[in-house]
Structure 1
């Protein structure tokens, strides 16, 4: 029996392995590879080439392939002739070290234990998870980014981190930065949306090569767009405008303190102004009316009932 036949007979619900069998190169190789005794080195190589190539899965489906491959090796190890087969664990899989950090970050957006991450996500030891969490607390480099974050008592983040990696060509970068800078220019100076756009565009711009900057910067300058380069670092020390946006996206009831000392309670809403007007803060009050104020007059926004 070949590995291809073994998968189809014993793992009919393994969606990602089935897709791999339909790949021309991987499928051909696995249809020629005996399931027992299995050539473990060749099998790992075939899976790695497929998983890391353009035909391989992305996102959560890539993690599914890892889990299905882990299960495949467990099942193959039970076949006569495969005694002592080395398990397909994280350390000898197609998932790299930085990718494993990203997977753990994504899995930890909600409270999860180290035991769950070890047994159900990364297929590694609990100690290995603890070591990764310790490194993240100190700060780790992922590509050209730095992530420094701590896990709460139950394994959750104070604020979830979402590293995004995009293989863009220069035209893609131009459109993305132009959209961010145009949105930024349409907002008031103290608008938290503007401040975050400025930060995001700065983190993108600082990662560009001198070649890319040489082509794009003069074009943006003619449009009145300038960049404040900012190192692509994520830390838990949130600034006020980050917290304000967090309250807006959560739809929580908030208290808004203005420069005149007044405090109003409501939910942040879209600005009632016309499209061509600079949008300020719009707060929908309990009676249905809307309080509008320029962002420069906003002293603080906090969750309603929160102690100062």
Structure 2
């Protein structure tokens, strides 16, 4: 018998462990052309909260009573498919199951000689791709510019900041504790950091940390921090709206300052970014990320939670600031 995690209730506000249900099922058997996969590492990500709402979006909502899904690194434990061999590792969008079958579509092979398998959920997975391609497609960094990153100690933010330094920018990170601020400066080379939990005026703090103004803002949180950054942007600034974790658990959308006046005066660009729209560029981006990683120019953090049953707790922990870098569950 293997375990599966089902989506039990649509949460109101922050999710709770009672919104999930763990069941046991008979071990599946692969049919002709299929492989049997055993989950090794499972990714939990803030965007999954959006899929818990019964509303139309860029990706279908989770169905009640059905397994959740996210990016997973799994081992091929049995193969009836000539494209995959027993013992190989793969990554892809898979269900929250210890064991499952697949026809192999949408799976990528994990090359363990490049990095540990879990890295293919982070720096060499959608996390790294989001950082790289968000900056490439919208940020268009130029040497000497100032880049501000929110969620800077998180999975995407920490990589964004390092790419900024590789590109010759001044990089300022916004995080939720003094420890995280120290960490992004000491490990990842950020020039400055701001603790939003102890800062009385974010507008003033950003102004002081960015004496030449903000040229590019990589936004992972939205809300009041975005409002404060907008007050400090330069002419022709680029704002990348990648995430809005500060709003994900709100039951009503709060009204904030109107950005249009600033965008007009500064001729600034503010654009949403979805990594799924740029699949054709994944190969090029991963090649560069892998090269930087092997050259020691790119580092990464992981918060690893052990145990398949801990998946709901790990996911909820994202909204409590319990992760530094990429949050993954080791099955």
Q: Shorter-chain TM-score: which interval?
A: under 0.3
**Could you state the TM-score of these two structures normalised by the residue count of structure 1?**
0.24
Which structure would you say has the larger Rg? 1
- Quick one: higher RCO (CA 8 Å, sep 6+), 1 or 2? 2
**Could you state the TM-score of these two structures normalised by the residue count of structure 2?**
0.23
- Tell me which protein shows more strand as a share of its residues: 2
- Tell me which protein shows more helix as a share of its residues: 1
